Chain A
Amino acid sequence: MAKRGKIQKVLIANRGEIAVRIIRTLRELGIRTVAVYSQADKTSLHVRMADESYEIGPPPSRESYLHIEKILDVAKKARVDAIHPGYGFLSENPEFARAVTDEGLIFIGPPPHAIEAMGDKTVARNTVRKRGVPLVPGTLDPVSSPEEGKKIAEEIGFPVLIKASAGGGGKGMRKVDTPEEFPFHFASAKREALSAFGDDRVYIEKYISAPCHIEVQVFGDQYGDLIHLGERECSIQRRHQKIIEEAPSPFISEETRRKMGEAAVEAAKSVGYFSAGTVEFVVGPDENFYFLEMNTRIQVEHPVTEMVTGLDLITLQILVAEGEKLPYSQEEIQRNGWAVEVRVYAEDPEENFRPSPGKLIVFEPPSGPWIRNDIGVYEGFEIPPYYDPMIGKLIAWGNNRKIAIMRLIRALKEYKILGIRHNIPFLIQVLSHPEFQAGNFDTHFLEKYPFQKKEEKPPSLWVMGVASALKKKFSQENSLFSPGDKAPSSPWKIWGRKMMLREFSR
Chain B
Amino acid sequence: VEDLGKENDAKGVFPLKERYFVFYSSEKDPEVVEVLVKESGILEVTVGGRQEEFTLLPLDSYRALILSSSGKTLEVLYQIREEVLEITLDGKTYTLEVWDEVKAYERTNRTKKKQVENILRVPMSGKVTTIFVAEGEEVEEGTPLLIVEAMKMENEFKSPKKGKVKKIFVQKGDVVEPGTPLVEIE
**Residue positions of A touching B, CB distance < 8 A:** 171, 188, 191-192, 195-196, 346, 351, 354-357, 361-362, 385-389, 412-413, 415-419, 421, 424-425, 428, 454, 456, 458-459, 461-482, 490-492, 495-497, 500-501, 504
Interface hit among B40-48, B112-120, B133-141: B40-48
Majority-rule SS of A interface residues: helix
User: Among A418, A468, A475, A504, which residue has its beta carbon within 8 angstroms of that of B62?
Assistant: A418
Given the contacts A355-B150, A461-B52, A472 and B87 also touching, CB distance less than 8 Å = no
B35 touches A495 (CB 8 A): no
Report how far A403 CA is from B89 CA in the complex, Å.
26
Complex CA–CA separation, A504 to B2 (angstroms): 13
CA distance A464 to B130 in the complex (A): 42
Given known contacts A467-B96, A479-B6, A500-B1, A355 and B151 CB-to-CB distance under 8 angstroms: yes
Residues of B within 8 A of A417 (CB): 77, 88
Chain B contacts for A386, CB-based, 8 A: 151
| Alpha-carbon distance between A196 and B151 when the two chains are bound, in angstroms | 10
Contact of A361 with B62 in the complex, beta carbons under 8 Å: yes
Using Cβ atoms and an 8 Å threshold, which residues of chain A touch B74?
462, 466
> How many angstroms from the CA of A172 to the CA of B6 in the assembled complex?
59
Total number of residue pairs linking A and B with CB closer than 8 Å: 190
26 contacts between A and B (CB under 8 A): A195-B149, A195-B152, A354-B123, A355-B124, A355-B126, A362-B88, A389-B152, A412-B91, A418-B93, A454-B92, A458-B24, A459-B94, A461-B48, A464-B33, A467-B98, A470-B87, A472-B35, A473-B58, A476-B6, A479-B6, A479-B9, A479-B11, A481-B56, A492-B61, A500-B1, A501-B1
Q: Are B124 and A479 in contact (CB under 8 A)?
A: no
How many interface residues does B have (CB within 8 Å)?
Answer: 66
Which B residues touch A465, using CB under 8 A?
Answer: 33, 35, 43, 45, 47, 52, 54
- B window 101-129: CB within 8 A of A: 123-126, 129
Kindly identify which residue among A385, A468, A495 contacts B80, using a CB–CB cutoff of 8 Å.
A495
Given A188-B154, A476-B9, A357 contacting B88 (CB threshold 8 A): no
Instruction: Establish whether residues B5 and A476, one from each chain, have CB atoms under 8 Å apart when the complex forms.
Output: yes
Chain A CB within 8 A of B174 CB? no
Q: Which 8 A-B pairs have the closest CB atoms?
A: A465-B45, A418-B77, A468-B33, A355-B151, A389-B151, A468-B20, A471-B98, A355-B150
B153 contacts A418, C-beta separation under 8 Å = no
Q: How far is the CA of A170 from the CA of B5 in the complex (A)?
A: 54
Q: Which residues of A contact B124 (CB under 8 A)?
A: 354-357, 385
B25 in contact (CB, < 8 A)? yes
A172 to B: closest C-beta gap in Å: 10
B150 touches A357 (CB 8 A): yes
- Verify B52–A357 contact, CB threshold 8 A: no
Report how far A496 CA is from B27 CA in the complex, Å: 27
**Distance, CA A351 to CA B98, complexed state (A):** 22
Known contacts A464-B22, A500-B4, A387 near B56 by CB under 8 Å: no
Tell whether B170 is near chain A: CB-to-CB under 8 Å: no
Does B33 contact A416, Cβ atoms closer than 8 Å? no
A456 touches B27 (CB 8 A): yes
| B65 → chain A closest CB, angstroms | 11
Query: B18 within 8 Å of A by Cβ?
Result: yes
Query: Distance (Å) between the CB of B161 and the closest chain A CB?
Result: 18
Identity of the chain B residue whose Cβ is nearest the Cβ of A492 in the assembled complex: B80
**Which of B66, B98, B125 has a CB less than 8 Å from the CB of A385?**
B125
Query: Contact string, B11-42, partner A, CB cutoff 8 A, digits 1/0?
Result: 10000001010101101100101010100010
Partner of B152 from the list A171, A356, A415 (CB cut-off 8 Å) is: A171
Please, which residue of chain A has its CB at the minimum distance from the CB of B45? A465
Query: Are A469 and B56 touching (Cβ within 8 A)?
Result: yes
- Chain B residues lying within 8 Å of A388, measured Cβ to Cβ, are 151-152
Residue of B8, B58, B86 touching A476 (CB-CB under 8 A): B8
Q: Are B79 and A419 in contact (CB under 8 A)?
A: yes
What's the minimum C-beta distance from A496 to chain B, rounded to whole angstroms?
Answer: 7
Q: Is the CB of A351 within 8 A of B33?
A: no
